Structures are given as C-alpha cells and as structure tokens.
Structure 1
Amino acid sequence: MRVTAARLHRVRLPLVHAFATSSHRKAELDHILVELEDASGAIGWGEIASPSDPYYAPETVESCWHIAERYLLPAVLGQEWDEPEQVPRLWAKVRGNQFAKAGVDVAAWVLWSTLRGVPLAQALGGTRAEVTAGVSLGIEPTIDDLLTQVRRQVDAGYPRVKLKIAPGWDVEPVRAVRAEYPDLDLHVDANGIYSESAGHLAALLALDEFGLTMIEQPFAPRNLLAHTRLQRAVETPVCLDESVETLDDLETALSLEALRVLNIKVSRMGGLTAARAAHDLARASGIAVWCGGMHEFGIGRAANVALSSLPGFTLPSDVSASEKYYARDVVTPPVVARRGVVQVPESAGLGHGVDTDLIAATTIATASL
C-alpha cells in the first residue's frame, strides 16, 4: 500500500454546551482532519483532536499542524507498507507529538480497513457489537447547575457520569450528586491539578466515602510516586490518564502500583496502534481499561468506538453521542447512543460517511501534499 496524497483541514465547530475543566473553559473547538489517499483514490480519514492551548498536554493545534505538515505526512507519502502497524515506524525519529501522530495513524488504519473491506473494529481485533458509553461533565457555575446536567444525562440513559473536579470544587459537588444518585456509576477527574499539600490530600481522601468508580489523574503527569502513595491510602481505584503517553510510561506505572484503572486515549497515546498495544499490556496485567475522549468530532469518535470494542474495555468509555457536543457532526450518520449504548459499525473502514460539505463550510485552513 502506498499513500500518494495527503490533506489537512483545520475545522472549527461550536459546542452545544460550554465545557470547563480545572485549567480552562471552551465553547468551540478547532480540530485537524487528516486525509490519506492512495493511488486508487481511496481515502482514509483521521482526526488530530489536540486542545488549542497547552494545558492538558504540551501540544496545540498550531504545533500539531506544523509537525503533521513538516514531518509526519512527508514521512508517509510514497512509502510502501502492508499493515497499519508499520506506519508509525516511518516517523520513528520524531519524538513526542502524540496528538499529531494519532491523526495520521488513525487515517492509515481507516484507509487500510476500507481497502480490505472490513470494519475498523474488526481490523483492530474488536469482539463487541456494542459499546457502553459514559459522559464527562465539566465544572459548572453552581452545584444546582451541575445537578441539572447530571439529570439530563441520566435521563438520556447514560449509566456512568464523570465529574471534573478542582480544589474547592470537589467534595461538595460529589456529595450532592451522590446524594441524588446513590447507585450511579460515578467517577471524578482532576486533570492533574492537585498536589500533596495537606488541604489537597484531605479533599482527595474525603472522596473515598462516596463509592466512586475511580479518581482519575489527581496529580501531575510525571508524579507517579504521589499516585502510588494515594492508591495505598484509599480504597477507590486510582486511574491514570495524562501520566501514560507511551508503553514505557505504562510499564513504569504498573511497576510502581500507581494505578488500578487506565484511561486509554487514542490521541494521547499517538494513535490506534499504540492504544491497542496499551490495551493488551493492561489486560495482561489485570488492569481495567476504558477509552477516554478529547471531545472528538465524529471521525475521532468513531475510531474510539472501534477501539472500545476490544475485550479489555470493561468500563464505560467516553464515546457518547455526537449530539451531546455538536449540533451537526462531520460524519453521517452521527454517532448515536441509545440508553447509553453505541452500536459498533459493521461496514468497512470508519463505518460512517464523511460530511465533506460541512467540512468545507467550517474549515479555516488547509494544506495539501
């Protein structure tokens, strides 16, 4: 197989509801869509779902554009490969830049599975026909506003709700949600904002009483020892997200017993190739995994659904319906969740059409190689 042309599209879509984390608030998103085309004219689509600002990770939309256009796409163009797992080797000298790599890697998988006439999930080794979805809710102005958002998602049938937390917005919001929904699969995500100061530790330890499914990424990404110490002090499983960008990171975290749950994000780990390898290692190590999201448009969301069909994804994943985030998505049909369950597409490749008219109307920059 040989890619003969590649294109980048910087697409901007508004969110239906503004989303706030411990570091920032956003009302619209810019993501980069990747097209890889072979000599037959077949196209594989991928998505670079990096944040616009370097708060979640060092990468930004601008840095990803530069790396994809200058290094990744030139490394792929004209090169022969037989399996999509071989594609990351073409840019092996490029360090880091996982979000940029992920968009190109996903496009390679979609192109390959499309040409083979198999669904992306099957190409990855997926075994599920449907995936249980959870939702992620941001920090709201008031606890009443948060309860309104939780109620909306529970009424829509989602069986798991994740709450973003930050110092000063942790114990009381969780207490309020748990009081109203005593049996809800509930977990929290700090995006690494806490330290081991007395006040911060007291809040994290207090969360142990609420029967949470997990406390996700309480400390900074590289502070694995703090996660180990917290995991020894609480019954609630600690989940790592930002800490694990590579298989080496995962092996280190496992050795330190710094986690009991792993959030695997296709974007954070550099694509489907690395994400599948992380799934395999975590499963062999007895670690529960789920697929996290970056508010992907439909292309990245469909890739997440395909990954979540692998057997080790035993917890609800962030693959909620397109309509939760976007009034109109870039795939047709959009990703749909019915009572919190998403069907895994059975058609070849991505399993969705791509709305090129919407992409053209919302693109603010393009590049062709």
Structure 2
Amino acid sequence: MNAPLATADAARLAKVEAFRVRLPLVHEFETSSHRKAWLEHILVRLEDADGAVGWGEIASPSDPYYSSETVDTCWLLLTRYLAPAILAHRWTHPDEAGRAWERIRGHHFAKAGVEIACWDLACRRAGMSLARALGGSRATAPAGVSLGIEPTIDDLLAQVERHVTSGYRRVKLKIAPGWDTEPVRVVRDTYPDLALQVDANGAYTEDPDHLRALRALDAYGLLLIEQPFAPGALSAHARLQAQLETPLCLDESVDDLDQLDTAITLRAARILNIKVSRMGGLSTARQAHDRALEAGWQVWCGGMHEFGVGRAANVALASLAGFSLPSDVSGSDKYYERDVVDPPIRAYDGEVPVPYDRPGIGHEVDEPFVRSLASDTFVLT
C-alpha cells in the first residue's frame, strides 16, 4: 500500500544523469572474498520538467564476489535500458516507478539506484522527508558497525575498541573458515556485554569441519550468524538453524519477495538483513520488512558501504518501527574522509538522527564535488 505521499501529477522527467565516482576508504576492509581500499559507486541524478532534482546511488561492488552485479554491469544497464525506460515512464508515486523496467530480470542494484532517485524527487516535490513517506516513526536509527577481517586478532581488537569507544552498541565481525571461533572468542571475552554478530558472506559449506566451527559459535551469545552458506543453499541454512540456538540471518539468499517466502516456508533463518540495493529499491525493501515481520522474523537494515546518498536512504528505511536490531547505518566518517552529501551523516552515541524536517533524503548532494570526481558521466534528455 502506498505511503501518504501525494504528487500533483505524473512525474515528467526531462533529464537522467549518472556519475561514476570513487572514494578512498579511511581503513581497508576485508571480507571472506577480497580486500578493498576504495569504493566506486554510480550516482544517479533525475531532473523533472519543472527543474526539481532527485538523487540515487547504485552501490554495487566493483567485482562479482558479493553478487553477479558490478559497477560495469550496472553502468551498462543504466545507460542502455534503465535511463531510457524511466525517462519515458509516467508515475504519480515512486512505488510505480519500477513498472518502467518490469520486463528486465535481475539487476537489482542498478534498479535500486534509479528508484531511490525517484523517491527523492517525489518527496522533494511534495516537501516531505523520505522517512515520513516510507512510514517511518523512529527519531533515530540505532547504528552498528561492520568490521572486516584483520591481519591479526590484536588489530581486530583495536578496531572494536575504536568503535565501541565512539558509542556504537553493536559490532558485526566478518568471518571465514580459519577466522571464526578464535577472533569471536577473544572479542567476546574482552567485551562480554557487547551486542555482537558475525557475517560469513556465504563462505562455508556443510563440510564437517565447517559445521563444527559454526556450531561452536553458539557458545558466544551472538545476536545472529549471517549468511553462512551460499545464496541458493536455503535447505542447508534450514538444517543448520535447526541445530542452533543462535538465530541465522539471511542476506544474499533473499533479493526478492518470492525468495523470502521460500526461506520462511523452509524455516531457513529467523532474521532478515534488508538491503535497499539487494532488494532492488525502497519499495520492495519496505514490503520485505512487512512480510518478514508477519512471519515472526526480526529485521534490520544492512548496507553496502554506501556514499551519503545511499546511506541516507538506508537511514530513512531504518526509521520504520519494525527494525528492532541495530542497522548498518553508521556515520559516513567511519568509511570516508569526505562524503558527497551535506550535512554529512553522523552517529551520536550509536544513534543516527532521522532528518524528518528536511525533504527527500534529507541531505544535499555536493554536486560540484561529484562532478569533479566523476571518472565517467552519462546524460540523457
């Protein structure tokens, strides 16, 4: 059902622009698949016939390790298919924007970036915050941090200390075979009361050694174990969940509502990580929130190390009352020296304020900065 967002008439877009932008990370980040020192995302700018502007972010990885989408595939989809489709499409509510590309299968990251821009544009035209338009009610979004695999456990403890001291109340540790029970044990012993969870990004199998390590994590009072197996291995997740007290959380396994229904039916987990990019946009992410809650699952808002545009969309989504666990909406200063939005997104004592008093995503894009950074640009009128 549409949120109470009214527009005077159907959106008439006049221009679609896109910018490939790379920002260095303040601290290198390693997962079970690779290590990265910078991120490149695509920023999407929509302008309507009256001169109103909305921004979105395609936050796909550069390499096909998290999903099959990359910055290169998203650039192709955007310039060849999505931009012409949305430019020709008429919609009165951003929930309807996705009909422009309903024949295109997959490519959720690319679609999400354009759809976020549609939401931002519609909200700015209506003088309404994105959080309010989505049905948000929280004044702040509880923030957690995601920490990568470090060279040593001492290096990991230093990172945990830095962010706990900064006020973050939940820490997520990336794990992989060989880097799991020991770092978790040491962090738990050092911080016995810390809300702690782990994320495997699908690095494990049902190999007996892998299963022993995963079952051993049950002893450390974790909030959840995220995506231990490959995306399609829902039956394996269900078998493991039946053996654990700790809830499993699905991420890569669920990028549409049909997959969520299957996971619920199989009892493959008890928690869902909802990422706007992975779900193809805010509209589907909000539906996943509602459907998971109806099934008795907990939900939280994940992230893809977004720049300020995508991060602001995450904050708006995380303002929904059903997000009971801290989300990956930490301040952008954790990742970037300088972000692309003003004011920058900041966390205060582990909470990110929700900008209900400002229209759209609640932050202004530093357009000259974006244009100066762009390694490639695209314009369609």
User: What corresponds to 2:253 in structure 1?
Assistant: 243
Deviation at 1:361, TM superposition (A): 2.0
**Equivalent position to 2:289, from 279, 283, 299:** 279
User: What corresponds to 2:379 in structure 1?
Assistant: 368
Amino acid at match of 2:360: G
**Equivalent position to 1:12, from 22, 28, 38:** 22
SS of aligned partner of 1:368: strand
Deviation at 1:266, TM superposition (A): 0.3
User: What corresponds to 1:331 in structure 2?
Assistant: 341
Deviation at 1:289, TM superposition (A): 0.4
1:36-62 C-alpha deviation (Å, 9 max, x unpaired): 110011110000000000000000000
Distance 2:291 2:200 in 1: 25
Distance 1:240 1:362 in 2: 35
Distance 2:88 2:259 in 1: 32
User: What corresponds to 1:178 in structure 2?
Assistant: 188
For 1:73-88, list aligned pairs within 5 A. 73-88=83-98
Distance 1:69 1:360 in 2: 18
TM-score, structure 1 normalization? 0.99
User: What corresponds to 2:112 in structure 1?
Assistant: 102
For 1:32-181, list aligned pairs within 5 A. 32-181=42-191
Deviation at 1:353, TM superposition (A): 1.0
For 1:294-309, list aligned pairs within 5 A. 294-309=304-319
1:51-96 C-alpha deviation (Å, 9 max, x unpaired): 0000000000000000011111111103221000101111100000
Distance 1:16 1:269 in 2: 28
Distance 2:236 2:201 in 1: 14
Deviation at 1:254, TM superposition (A): 0.1
1:119-143 C-alpha deviation (Å, 9 max, x unpaired): 0000111111111000000000000
Unaligned residue ranges in structure 1 (runs of 5+): none
Distance 1:19 1:304 in 2: 20
Name segments (4+ residues, structure 1) moved above 4 Å. none
The 8 Å contact of residues 89 and 97 in structure 2, kept in 1 or not, is answered as no
Amino acid at match of 1:365: D
Distance 1:302 1:76 in 2: 22
The 8 Å contact of residues 110 and 120 in structure 1, kept in 2 or not, is answered as yes
SS of aligned partner of 1:207: helix
Amino acid at match of 2:73: S
SS of aligned partner of 2:375: strand
Unaligned residue ranges in structure 2 (runs of 5+): 1-10
Distance 1:89 1:323 in 2: 36
CA RMSD between the two structures: 0.6
The 8 Å contact of residues 194 and 219 in structure 1, kept in 2 or not, is answered as yes
Distance 1:206 1:2 in 2: 56
Distance 2:90 2:84 in 1: 13
Distance 2:23 2:179 in 1: 28
Moved more, 353-362 or 51-60: 353-362
Amino acid at match of 2:185: R
User: What corresponds to 1:358 in structure 2?
Assistant: 369
SS of aligned partner of 1:255: helix
Distance 1:272 1:2 in 2: 21
User: What corresponds to 2:226 in structure 1?
Assistant: 216
User: What corresponds to 2:264 in structure 1?
Assistant: 254
User: What corresponds to 2:302 in structure 1?
Assistant: 292
Q: Does 1:23 align with 2:33?
A: yes
Distance 1:175 1:31 in 2: 35
Deviation at 1:23, TM superposition (A): 0.1
Distance 1:55 1:78 in 2: 33
Deviation at 1:328, TM superposition (A): 0.3
Amino acid at match of 2:301: C
**Equivalent position to 2:244, from 226, 234, 245:** 234
Amino acid at match of 1:205: R
TM-score, structure 2 normalization? 0.96
Distance 1:17 1:135 in 2: 13
Distance 2:332 2:56 in 1: 16
Equivalent residue pairs, number: 369
User: What corresponds to 2:321 in structure 1?
Assistant: 311
SS of aligned partner of 1:23: coil
Distance 2:196 2:250 in 1: 16
The 8 Å contact of residues 4 and 78 in structure 1, kept in 2 or not, is answered as no
